[in-house]
Amino acid sequence: MEGVKNIISEVRSHFPALETSMNGRRLVYLDNAATTQKSREVLEFISGAMVNKNANVHRSMYALSDLATEAYEAAREKVRSFINAPERENIIFTSGTTASINLVASSFCQAFLKEGDAVLIEADSHHSNIVPWQLAAQRVGAFIKVLPIDGSGNLCTNLAESLLTPEVKIVALTQVSNVLGVENTIAEIIKIAHKKGIPVLVDGAQGVVHSEVDVQKMDCDFYAFSAHKIYGATGVGILYGKRDWLEKMPPYMGGGDMVETVTYQKTTYAPLPLKFEAGTPNFTGAASLLPALETAEYLRRGEVGDALKKEERAIVSFMMEKLSQIPDIEIYGTPENLEKKHPIFSFNVKGVNAGDMAQILDKMGVAVRSGLMCAEPLINSFGATSALRASFAPYNTLEEADYFVQCLQRALQMLK
| Site residues (vs ligand PMP, CB under 6 A) | 33-34, 96-98, 126, 128-129, 174, 178, 203, 205-206, 226, 374
- CB of 131 or CB of 163, closer to ligand PMP: 131
Nearest approach, Cβ of residue 149 and ligand PMP (Å): 14
Nearest approach, Cβ of residue 177 and ligand PMP (Å): 6
What angle (nearest 5°) sits at the alpha carbon of residue 16, between those of residues 13 and 20?
A: 110
- CB of 106 or CB of 128, closer to ligand PMP: 128
Strand 168-174 and strand 118-122: the pairing is: parallel
Nearest approach, Cβ of residue 60 and ligand PMP (Å): 30
Name the DSSP class of 204: -
Nearest approach, Cβ of residue 368 and ligand PMP (Å): 14
41: helix, strand or coil: helix
- CB of 98 or CB of 396, closer to ligand PMP: 98
Q: How far apart are alpha carbons 110 and 103 in whole angstroms?
A: 10
- CB of 206 or CB of 284, closer to ligand PMP: 206
Among this protein's residues, is 109 annotated catalytic?
A: no
Nearest approach, Cβ of residue 101 and ligand PMP (Å): 7
- CB of 180 or CB of 308, closer to ligand PMP: 180
Q: How many CB atoms lie within 10 A of CB 303?
A: 10
Nearest approach, Cβ of residue 333 and ligand PMP (Å): 13
Q: How far apart are alpha carbons 218 and 224 in whole angstroms?
A: 13
Q: How far apart are alpha carbons 158 and 155 in whole angstroms?
A: 9
Q: How many CB atoms lie within 10 A of CB 383?
A: 8
288: helix, strand or coil: coil
Which residue in the list 109, 220, 374, 407 is annotated as catalytic? 374
- CB of 284 or CB of 346, closer to ligand PMP: 346
Q: How many CA atoms lie within 13 A of 312 on its CB side?
A: 24
Whether 84 and 231 have beta carbons less than 8 Å apart is answered as no
Whether 160 and 198 have beta carbons less than 8 Å apart is answered as no
Q: Which phi and psi angles does 241 have, rounded to 5°?
A: -140, 145
Alpha helices for 164-262 (secondary structure H): 186-195, 207-210, 215-218, 243-248
Cite the active site residues.
374
